[in-house]
């Protein structure tokens, strides 16, 4: 496809909101588990931005459109679907009636494809309870168009409402507030129920989300419940019982939480991400259920998105760092408030290691290691990495130090979020506000190497010197393991581990993984000394498996294949599949396991792992 932007406003969207904006979407959909399709209607409320406009251009991917009408009159409108382009789907162009007025509603009858890229349909046998089917969505970055005909660009924000019909024994959750007026559906569909939702806060379409399953909930705070299949709900309630503390800390830093409810949904294990910041209901992976709350930083991250990303949104995904770099910065501010600044710095040190591995893997000249991206002709799923998160965080931390520390930067952060709330912005908008906010510090701002930070590939031009008081013990233990010549008696024992926190265990293994490969015999002794093969903590298990694969320790292959089969979180499965592929002896097992698992993987996971394994889909 080459470097071709799909539209002047957003390289990854066909839509033209600058001509006619969709301001509200109402969904009336039946969830058809038998055909694995959503079937029904999307009513789009329009706001014409220029009287000359005669067309509404939407994004669509594998949608079957039945009809397009003016809701008030029933007037049938002509429409056409453009030629599909790669994974971007195609344009849906609707010929509008003359003199479209603000508030006019266009009704689109449609159904999704049975393999819509935003949706995963699970049979009962794929769930924990084994008795009911399950459906969940993942729209970020550009999959909403496979679920709804819409302007699938974060440059446009919509409110939405929905009536969702499902089998009466199932629960429906959406990224919206639930209307209590649940009613039995019409006689047309006995045994079903209609669930109603409304999202009054304008948001980008990538935050539209749905989940349907046999779910239970537990109250974990004054504005929070945790939802999951019943087998996990008490575990989840324990794991995430700090949620209200995180919310209150975030409000003190960022301003009022505008979304009302803050629920958590623990998804089936195929969910491809640690968490997804769907408003009112964050979706999380069950791999966070470590039993010791040590992975709850992901919840702090998703809570932070309630401001950075969901309230102030990147105009296109080329400025994705405005969503993720700021969110990591706020996530670690929350950690600093609750556990102290050394803990904030400890996480930043770990994040830098992940950034370094990404830059090493992609290559320090890869344009996708720039902070601001050029996504013309690039599927955001293929561009996704830790770069916007960790290079973005490092940049904001650097600016905080340059501009006078937290007492100067935190008020700026709160003012920035208030100034741009409900809007979509670019990096230039953000930088202009920074200059306006600090009129007396332009000498400092003009001394920033903006071009290197924003547009140069590779590691950041400056690496902050973080407080190492919590990582020093990890470095000392990792160094002892690296330097040991394996001469008996072994100078290690379980008390080494017992004196460290789960987060520090992760850091020790991260340091060993980042260094030269260990010998297979040393890996064997490491695993036995600290019982690493039986850990319930997925962050530890992930790094332990990778240390074994890097050492070409054969007993690591089976646990690796088991781990990538048990769960579908891409943070874990992609590096492990790549490590297996790089080990010639393990490669055929990796390819066979992928082919066996592909049908039960979310689209984005199967798509990206196929590329990692050099398999033509």
Ligand X SMILES: CC/C=C\C/C=C\C[C@@H](O)/C=C/C=C/C=C\[C@@H](O)CCCC(=O)O
Query: Annotated binding site for a peptide, which residues?
Result: 138-140, 272-277, 569-571
Distance (Å, whole) CA 250 – CA 305 = 10
What's the closest the beta carbon of residue 253 comes to ligand X, in angstroms? 19
Min CB(494)–ligand X separation in Å: 29
Q: Which is nearer to Zn ion, 249 or 327 (CB)?
A: 327
- For position 569 contacting ligand X by CB under 6 A, the verdict is yes
Which does residue 571 touch among ligand X, Zn ion, none (CB within 5 to 8 A, set by kind)? Answer: ligand X
At a CB cut-off of 8 Å and minimum separation 6, what does 334 contact?
246, 249, 250, 253, 300, 303, 304
Q: Which one, 17 or 275, has the nearer CB to ligand X?
A: 275
Q: For residue 116, state whether it binds ligand X (rule: CB under 6 A).
A: no
CB under 5 to 8 A by kind: which of ligand X, Zn ion, none does 380 bind? ligand X
- Among 14, 259, 307, 317, indicate the residue that binds ligand X (CB under 6 A): 317
- Please identify, using beta-carbon distances, which residue of 193 and 393 lies nearer to Zn ion: 393
Who contacts 214 (Cβ-Cβ below 8 Å, separation ≥6)?
127, 129, 131, 132, 134, 169, 170, 171, 229, 230
CA–CA dist 453, 467 (Å, integer): 22
Please report whether residue 564 would count as binding ligand X according to CB under 6 A.
Answer: no
Cβ-based nearer residue to ligand X, 94 or 348: 348
**Cis peptide bond upstream of 183, omega within 30:** no
Binding-site residues from annotation = 138-140, 272-277, 301, 305, 324, 569-571
Enumerate residues 458-477 that contact Zn ion by CB under 5 A.
none
Nearest distance from residue 301's CB to Zn ion, in Å?
A: 6
**Is 389 tagged catalytic?**
yes
Backbone angles phi, psi at 433, to 5 degrees: -65, -40
DSSP string over 78-138: -EEE----GGG-EEEEEEPPTTPPTT-EEEEEEE--TT-TTEEEE-GGGSSSSSS-EEEE-
250 binds, among Zn ion, ligand X, none (CB under 5 to 8 A by kind): none
- Rounded least distance, CB 370 to ligand X, Å: 9
Rounded to an integer, what distance in angstroms lies between the CA atom of residue 517 and that of residue 552?
9
Which listed option, ligand X, Zn ion, none, makes contact with residue 379 (CB within 5 to 8 Å by class)? none
Find the shortest distance in angstroms from Cβ 119 to ligand X: 15
Q: Is 584 a catalytic residue?
A: no
* Footprint on residues 378-397 left by ligand X (CB under 6 A): 380-381, 383-384, 388
CB 198 within 8 A of CB 185: no
Q: In the range 297-316, which residues lie near ligand X by CB under 6 A?
A: 298
Pairing of strands 171-174, 210-213: antiparallel
> Annotated catalytic residue: which of 110, 160, 262, 389?
389
Residue in 302, 318, 331, 503 annotated catalytic: 302
452: phi then psi, degrees, rounded to nearest 5? -65, -45
Q: Which is nearer to Zn ion, 331 or 429 (CB)?
A: 331
Q: How far is the CB of 602 from ligand X (least distance, A)?
A: 10
Q: What's the length of the chain?
A: 617
378: left (phi over 0), alpha (psi -120 to 50) or beta: beta
Q: Does 373 bind ligand X (CB under 6 A)?
A: yes
Asked if the bond preceding 141 is cis, omega within 30° of 0, the reply is yes
Q: For the chain, how big is the Rg over CA atoms in Å?
A: 25
Contacts of 144 (CB under 8 A, 6+ apart): 59, 118, 150, 152, 205, 206, 208
Q: How many residues bind Zn ion (CB under 5 A)?
A: 2
Q: What's the N-to-C CA distance of the chain in angstroms?
A: 17
Cα 38 to Cα 22: distance, rounded to the nearest angstrom = 21
Q: Should residue 140 be labelled a site residue for ligand X when binding is judged by CB under 6 A?
A: yes
Instruction: Return the residue nearest ligand X (CB atom).
Output: 274
Residues 387 to 446 in contact with ligand X, rule: CB under 6 A: 388
- Rounded Cα distance between 71 and 77, Å, is 11
- Is residue 539 close enough to count as binding ligand X by CB under 6 A? no
Annotated binding site for Zn(2+): 301, 305, 324
DSSP state of 491: -
Q: Which of 316, 379, 580, 361 is nearest to 458 (CA)?
A: 361
Other CB atoms closer than 10 Å to residue 357's CB: what's the count?
16
295-334 positions binding Zn ion, by CB under 5 A: 324, 327
Q: How far is Cα 507 from Cα 515, in angstroms, rounded to an integer?
A: 12
The one among 116, 141, 265, 560 contacting ligand X by CB under 6 A: 141
Q: Which of 580, 604, 606, 613 binds ligand X (CB under 6 A)?
A: 604
Between 209 and 508, CB nearer to ligand X:
209
CA distance 59 to 154: 12
CB of residue 283 to ligand X, shortest distance in Å:
9
Query: CB 418 → ligand X: shortest distance, Å?
Result: 24
- Give the contact letters, 244-283, x = binds to ligand X (CB under 6 A), - = no: -----------------------------xxxx-------
Give yes or no for residue 154 binding ligand X (CB under 6 A). Answer: no
Task: Summarize as ranges the residues that interact with Zn ion (CB under 5 A).
Answer: 324, 327
Q: Which residues are catalytic?
A: 302, 389
Task: Summarize as ranges the residues that interact with ligand X (CB under 6 A).
Answer: 140-141, 273-276, 298, 317, 320, 373, 380-381, 383-384, 388, 569, 571, 604
């Amino acid at each position: 496809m080459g470097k071709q932007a799909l539209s002047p406003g957003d390289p990854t969207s066909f839509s033209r909101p600058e001509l006619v904006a969709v301001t509200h979407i109402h969904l009336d959909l039946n969830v058809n588990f038998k055909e694995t399709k959503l079937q029904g209607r999307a009513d789009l409320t329009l706001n014409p931005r220029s009287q000359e406009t005669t067309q509404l251009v939407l994004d669509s991917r594998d949608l079957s459109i039945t009809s397009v009408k003016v809701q008030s009159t029933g007037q049938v409108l002509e429409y056409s679907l453009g030629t599909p382009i790669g994974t971007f789907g195609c344009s849906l162009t609707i010929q509008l009636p003359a003199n479209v007025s603000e508030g006019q509603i266009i009704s689109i009858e449609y159904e999704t494809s049975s393999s819509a890229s935003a949706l995963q349909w699970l049979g009962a046998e794929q769930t924990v309870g084994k008795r009911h089917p399950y459906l969940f969505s993942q729209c970020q970055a550009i999959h909403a168009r496979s679920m709804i005909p819409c302007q699938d660009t974060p440059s446009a924000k919509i409110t939405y409402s929905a009536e969702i019909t499902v089998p009466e024994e199932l629960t429906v959750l959406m990224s919206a507030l639930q209307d209590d007026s649940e009613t039995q559906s019409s006689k047309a569909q006995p045994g079903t129920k209609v669930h109603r939702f409304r999202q009054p806060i304008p948001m980008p379409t990538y935050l539209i989300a749905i989940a349907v399953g046999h779910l239970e909930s537990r109250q974990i705070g004054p504005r929070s419940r945790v939802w999951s299949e019943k087998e996990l709900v008490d575990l989840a309630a324990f794991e995430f019982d700090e949620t209200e503390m995180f919310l209150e800390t975030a409000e003190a830093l960022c301003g009022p939480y505008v979304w009302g409810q803050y629920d958590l949904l623990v998804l089936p294990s195929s969910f491809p991400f640690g968490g997804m910041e769907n408003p009112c209901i964050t979706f999380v992976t069950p791999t966070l259920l470590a039993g010791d709350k040590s992975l709850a930083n992901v919840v702090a991250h998703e809570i932070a998105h309630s401001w950075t990303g969901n309230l102030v949104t990147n105009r296109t995904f080329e400025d994705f760092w405005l969503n993720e770099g700021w969110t990591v910065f706020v996530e670690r501010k929350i950690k600093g408030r609750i556990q102290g600044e050394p803990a904030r710095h400890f996480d930043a040190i770990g994040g830098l290691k992940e950034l370094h591995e990404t830059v090493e893997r992609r290559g320090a000249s890869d344009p996708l290691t720039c902070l601001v991206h050029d996504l013309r002709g690039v599927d955001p799923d293929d561009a996704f990495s830790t770069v916007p998160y960790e290079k973005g965080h490092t940049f904001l931390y650097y600016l905080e130090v340059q501009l006078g520390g937290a007492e100067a930067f935190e008020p700026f952060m709160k003012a920035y979020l208030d100034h741009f709330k409900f809007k979509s912005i670019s990096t230039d908008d953000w930088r202009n506000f920074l200059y306006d906010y600090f009129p007396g510090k332009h000498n400092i701002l003009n001394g920033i190497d903006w071009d290197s930070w924003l547009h140069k590939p590779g590691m950041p031009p400056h690496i902050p010197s973080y407080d190492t008081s919590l990582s020093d013990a990890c470095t000392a233990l990792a160094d002892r393991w690296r330097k040991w010549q394996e001469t008996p008696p072994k100078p290690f024992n379980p008390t080494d581990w017992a004196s460290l926190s789960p987060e520090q265990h992760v850091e020790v293994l991260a340091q060993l993984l980042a260094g030269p490969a260990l010998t297979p015999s040393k890996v064997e002794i490491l695993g036995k000394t600290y019982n690493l093969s039986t850990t319930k903590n997925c962050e530890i298990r992930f790094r332990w498996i990778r240390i074994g694969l890097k050492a070409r320790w054969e007993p690591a292959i089976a646990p690796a294949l088991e781990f990538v089969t048990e769960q579908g979180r891409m943070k874990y499965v992609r590096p492990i599949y790549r490590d297996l592929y790089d080990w010639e002896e393990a490669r055929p097992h990796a390819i066979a396991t992928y082919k066996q698992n592909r049908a039960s993987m979310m689209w984005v996971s199967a798509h990206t792992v196929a590329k990692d394994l050099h398999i033509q889909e």
